[in-house]
Amino acid sequence: QKSRGGMNGRMAADLGELLVPYMPTIRVPKTGDRVFKSECAFSYDSPESEGGLYVCMNTFLGFGREHVERHYRKTGQSVYMHLKRHPRHMLRERHHSLFYDLELNRDFNGDEYDCEDEAKLVIFPDHFEIPLPNIEELPALVTIACDAVLNAASAYKKQEPDSWDEEIQVSKHARSLRQQDNGVRIPPSGWKCQKCEMKENLWLNLSDGAVLCGKWFFDGSGGNGHALDHFKDTNFPLAVKLDNLTLDIADIYSFDEEEAVLDPQISEHLQHFGIDIIPIQRVHNTNGMRPRVSEWEVIQESGMKLKAVYGSGFTGIKNLGNSCYLGTIMQVLFSIPEFQRAYVGNLQRIYDYSPLDPSTDFSTQMAKLGHGLLSGLYSKPPMKSELIEQVMKEEYKPKGISLKMFKALVSNGHPEFSSNRQQDAQKFFLHLINLVERNCVGLENPNNAFRYLVEERVQCCQTQKVRYTQKVDYLMQLPAPIEAASNREELIAYEAKRNEAEENMRAPPEPVRARIPFTACLQAFTEPENVPDFWSSELQAKSAGPFLHFELNMTLTCFSTDLSIDMPDFLDLSRLRGTGLQAGEQELPDLTPPIVLPEDTRAPEIDESAAMQLAEMGFPLEACRKAIYYTGNMGPEMAFNWIIAHMEEPDFAEPLALPTFMEPGPSVASSGLAATPLDNHPPEESIAILTSMGFPRRHTVQALKATNNNLERALDWIFTHTEREEEEEETSDALSDMADTTEPNDSDASGPQIKDGPGRYELFAFISHIGASTMSGHYVCHIKKEGRWVIFNDHKVCLSERPPKDLGYIYFYRRLSSS
């Protein structure tokens, strides 16, 4: 025993001496440190992968075997913890798991498989290995650091305010909620706000059964805030959202606690008003409508035995819980050659120049995602004999890749995408296009595949003069004229039955889907529109009835619909090509409308109590009064956002001063850099709304000016025009004004690049949505690969037998060559 003890002592001394040079680089994770022990920063390797995962003991980033050497060479960090999980058949005695809170694929952790975890320290460059745990032989600091890493929470479980899986707490009112015995019974359908007749974003107050609309959102959706007004009048604290009430989901909000909450007794509280969740789910699904059972089956092709496909380009994406909107968009984008070349084609270059923390670099994570989908490394057919039987029994589930790191990055700071709720795939598409635009410096811009020009033609009906303007866009939204439906009589009969069911508080009839010809949608898109209150620069007054007309010069586009539209495989949009000013047409003068104050010159109405509430926080009173005024008396929260956005301005604390009347003058475009500062200046309340959403003031002013102060269009403009582009354009304009010292301006080189070509397109992908609201339900995509349609349904990738092209939500077409 003495001999053995002496040997152990010498080994401990040897390990201690071995680690001495590296001790300054070994850290113990502190509060706020993220420990990435389930996913490589450059690949989708994990402890379950063949080579395991190496966790840097200084930065706590994880690296697969193929990428750990790169981090060692770049940082000189030598000590890593190597984690390896070995799946195996279930044994009678379950083995202890070393990797506490390790979020991995759980396919082997069911009834038939158990796992054995292995951890060891590895010292580079010699790959010297020290098995763990090794308490007796390692220095105390190293032991503490190793235990802290093994016990650390997942990098994605930090309870930060903007965490996308923030834990919702049980409401303090849940168990003591008093419900009124007022005889209110909520019908299974036909809900509408008791105060404004709205039929969407409805909330049921759990105290008295009042059904009222939610708050208004910046995109124009939402409601009129009657649910909140009801709380202010009654102090009844809890409400549940009716639109997406299911067995699995109950969105409960506490007005008193001002946050989403849990109610363990939600079933009992709903039953008090006659609501049984099971029939509610059966009848209403997500938006007060009976789910089309056939729609779920048709879109997912669930009634057929589909053949699974594996290999490059056939990798599934694991659903993180309501993340299918993200997965479908990324599957389609990385089926496009421009995105493949920009990120996967430049993979090594992007990786070599990545920052020290690759998890925060957009280009790195895009390249990682593209390689994960296209390499085939994470889409291999089952090879083990014990899994073949599972495949035959249709029990084998391919893992796919998990986009936790990617989602955390692209959703950081975004109020919608950072949540763990379902989101609109179209909105995420535009969000990602914006991120690509901001981060493509030094790379080929793959957005060029989507970018096209929209030509807008405005004609004054009194003078017949016209104005042509152009704007960049990335998707084309087609209207669906219900009056053009081929089954119009059937729809009229259904509407009558539905209204009758609502009046009698009965379940609605089986929904009838409108079948609208695609040609009717295209025709409706190109119809002229009346523009109310149009200011004619020729008359220098409002014109009686001008028209607005769109014509397109487009590249690759998306279409949005929630109807049955027989989308063609091939499109010819040549007739929509923009033509510009035609012979015989006269242009409207390039003047901007005057700024006119209302005749009522009384002092503006300001909620002084709200202003005082903000002033108590330490802000100047005059600044608070301006904030309340410019945000339309919409409350302290909105005004607070205005204050944060404007507090660096020199006149921040000065009293409110309203603009005076100004005569019409030349527009900014015609007058160059010498334009009057107030010329076409957007309303401050519009600027405040956009800046409160996080956009810089300068950029919001440009957006509003470019869209005639239309909030909705300005928001789209911001997403399609990066600040860098605008700076380049302004620099180019300024240089062109200094003709004596500069070369002629090449606006095409500095502005967005547009690929022109033939007007014929072929359908190559479409995203389908299941459910009545794009903010809930499920997304599936179909992509045409090698001449065959393939269905991507989360982690499952199969050959499609009957692609439901008429039930899509977003359609992707690619231009055909002239040959």
Q: What is the DSSP letter of 343?
A: I
Confidence (pTM)? 0.66
Cα(22)–Cα(125) distance, integer angstroms:
12
pLDDT at res. 91: 40
Cα(211)–Cα(213) distance, integer angstroms:
7
- The token pair at 170 is 């049980």
- The token pair at 407 is 């989602």
Residue 127 catalytic? no
pLDDT at res. 552: 35
How far is C-alpha 28 from the geometric centre of its chain's CA atoms?
A: 35
Stated as kind and residue range, the H or E segment containing 459 is: strand 452-459
pLDDT at res. 537: 59
pLDDT at res. 610: 87
| Pairs from 575-581 (Cβ < 8 Å, separation ≥ 24) | 575/759, 576/526, 576/551, 576/552, 576/759, 577/551, 577/552, 577/553, 577/759, 578/453, 578/454, 578/455, 578/470, 578/551, 578/552, 578/553, 579/455, 579/551, 580/455, 580/468, 581/466, 581/468
- The token pair at 442 is 């030094």
The length of the chain, given as a count of residues: 819
Name the residue among 441, 426, 434, 707 with its Cα closest to residue 557.
Answer: 426
Single-letter amino acid code for the residue at 305: K
Cα(80)–Cα(12) distance, integer angstroms:
19
- Judging by beta carbons within 10 Å of its beta carbon (0-12, 13-18, 19+), is residue 39 exposed, middle or buried? buried
The neighbouring-strand residues paired with 815 are 761
Residue 624 catalytic? no
SS (H, E, C) 204-248: EECCCCCEEECCECCCCCECCCHHHHHHHHHCCCEEEECCCCCCC
Cα(365)–Cα(645) distance, integer angstroms:
30
**Active-site hit among 40, 146, 324, 460:** 324
Pairing outcome for strands 515-516 and 564-565: parallel
**Active-site hit among 173, 230, 778, 782:** 778
pLDDT at res. 242: 84
Where do the DSSP E strands lie in 651-777? 665-666, 760-770
Cα(401)–Cα(795) distance, integer angstroms:
8
Single-letter amino acid code for the residue at 185: R
Cα(396)–Cα(387) distance, integer angstroms:
7
- Judging by beta carbons within 10 Å of its beta carbon (0-12, 13-18, 19+), is residue 609 exposed, middle or buried? exposed
Question: Mean pLDDT for each 10-residue chunk of the chain (819 residues)?
Answer: 38 71 92 91 93 95 94 93 78 46 42 71 92 83 92 66 52 91 83 85 92 65 81 93 68 86 87 70 38 57 79 92 92 95 93 92 96 93 59 58 93 82 88 88 82 84 83 84 87 86 77 87 81 60 45 38 80 86 85 56 74 84 87 81 78 72 42 35 77 76 76 72 48 37 38 78 91 76 94 92 88 83
